[in-house]
Amino acid sequence: MVHTSIQSVQAALADGSTTTVAIVRNYLDAIAEQAHLNIYVEVYAEEAIREAIRQDEARTQGAKMGKLAGVVLSIKDVICYAGHGVSAGSRILEEFVSPYTATALQRLLDEGVIVIGRTNCDEFAMGSGNENSFYGPTRNAADVTRVPGGSSGGAAVSVQAATCLIAMGSSTGGSVRQPASFCGIYGFKPTYGRISRHGVIAYGSSFDQIGYLANNADDIALALEISAGADAYDATAPNKIVATYSKQAVETGPQSIAYFADLMESESLAPEIRNAMQATLERFRAAGHRLVPVTFSFFDYVVPAYYVLTTAEASSNLSRFDGMRYGHRSSEATDLVETYTKSRTEGFGTEVQRRILLGTFVLSSGYYDAYYGKAQKVRRLIRDQLQGILDAHDFILMPVSPSLPWPIGEQTDDPVANYLADIYTVLANLAGLPAIAVPLKAEGGLPVGYQLMADHWEEGKLLSFVRGL
């Protein structure tokens, strides 16, 4: 039997109807059977089984088990795990082995989580279709000719294809919600700072957050409460109280839900998504919630501001990959400057090079004020206007993506088309807000979802609402 929630796994382990070894073996079989999906960069078969045996023995001896005992996790290839490779989907880090473990992952490990492998992703998390990976694209299990979304594409399919129970991903501009939605599962990013970024390979540090992809919001709530909270290694993770989100009462009372009415009419929205959004609005209305149309003046500036700011941060973050300290070093170089240029030219893919160039340009003297400085101001305006909406309402309801999963290869030559498709997800990252993608039952077609956003630090309220749906 394939378990689709932490609760059902743990109930089955507690009543002896399964063992941890059986669970892990099932997942390993599923990975082998679905190798064509290209979900994993590396599978930790032996050590996962070893840990499962250890947990089964401990359980038999009556030991107190961790809150995540028997829970099998995949980690995106940007999460550091001591003694294991981590490459950010890039040739430049192909051989790199992490000397330490990300704080959030360590907290899950301390509660007994079993890591089954690291998942494919867009190179340095830059992309929306998982097509920018050095390891080739991951395929959507709902239709193998289509993308699973990105950049946490492997993470989304790892859950969709039942090769693990829950996946740890990262979001800079939508990389958890968008692939989750493309694959028909839940995807959640917390408030900026809620989870430590220590041990996540940096892309845009003022945007990056760890997030979870799972079959339900209860599993996300539990993973969040265990991994969130202050960390001495990340000054942006403040000492805010972390609630036991998974045990909070579900929220069933009427909520005030804002939505962008103009957006529902937008021509760029795929008809299936527009219909799904309309149906969701109606359903919420029928359930007694107050649905309030609101306006947002900055939609035209959201994607440009995001790409100016994140490429600027990326150009700085990725300067450490210079062929000298770690990662790929060109064997063709004969002096220092050549070592830098050839190592980076060989090591980085096209999209990453494009973004480093863009980011270097917007930060260069003479252009800084016109681009980077201006984008920072736009970010503030976006944040303030969203804050105004969330001061008056409980949640904002939006699509996750304007498009359905596209055929693999269709958009690879058109970076701008890819960037524009990020319009609905980058908002939460620009403003640092928590947001969740909720799947809708697809009627035969491709998966569709919707998105709910809440105020800063209100992930308890957001998850309680979604858990109660």
128 in contact with ligand GLN (CB under 6 A): yes
Q: Which two tokens stand for residue 90?
A: 């890039």
227 labelled catalytic: no
319 labelled catalytic: no
89 in contact with ligand GLN (CB under 6 A): no
Taking the complex as a whole, how short is the minimal distance between the CB of residue 126 and ligand GLN, in angstroms? 5
From the list 87, 175, 181, 315, the catalytic residue is: 175
Stretch that binds ligand GLN, among 5-13, 120-128, 282-290, 454-462 (CB under 6 A): 120-128
Stretch that binds ligand GLN, among 16-24, 94-102, 169-177, 433-441 (CB under 6 A): 169-177
411 in contact with ligand GLN (CB under 6 A): no
317 in contact with ligand GLN (CB under 6 A): no
- CB-nearest residue to ligand GLN: 175
125 in contact with ligand GLN (CB under 6 A): yes
127 in contact with ligand GLN (CB under 6 A): yes
401 in contact with ligand GLN (CB under 6 A): no
Amino acid making up residue 91: R
From the list 87, 98, 128, 151, the catalytic residue is: 151
415 in contact with ligand GLN (CB under 6 A): no
422 in contact with ligand GLN (CB under 6 A): yes
* Residue selected from 31, 105, 126, 400 as contacting ligand GLN according to rule CB under 6 A: 126
218 in contact with ligand GLN (CB under 6 A): no
342 labelled catalytic: no
231 forms bridges with which residues in the sheet?
234
Q: Which two tokens stand for residue 66?
A: 């961790």
* Residue selected from 106, 175, 196, 317 as contacting ligand GLN according to rule CB under 6 A: 175
174 in contact with ligand GLN (CB under 6 A): yes
Q: Which residues are catalytic?
A: 76, 151, 175
The residues that touch ligand GLN, with contacts defined as CB under 6 A, are 125-128, 151, 171-175, 203, 310, 422
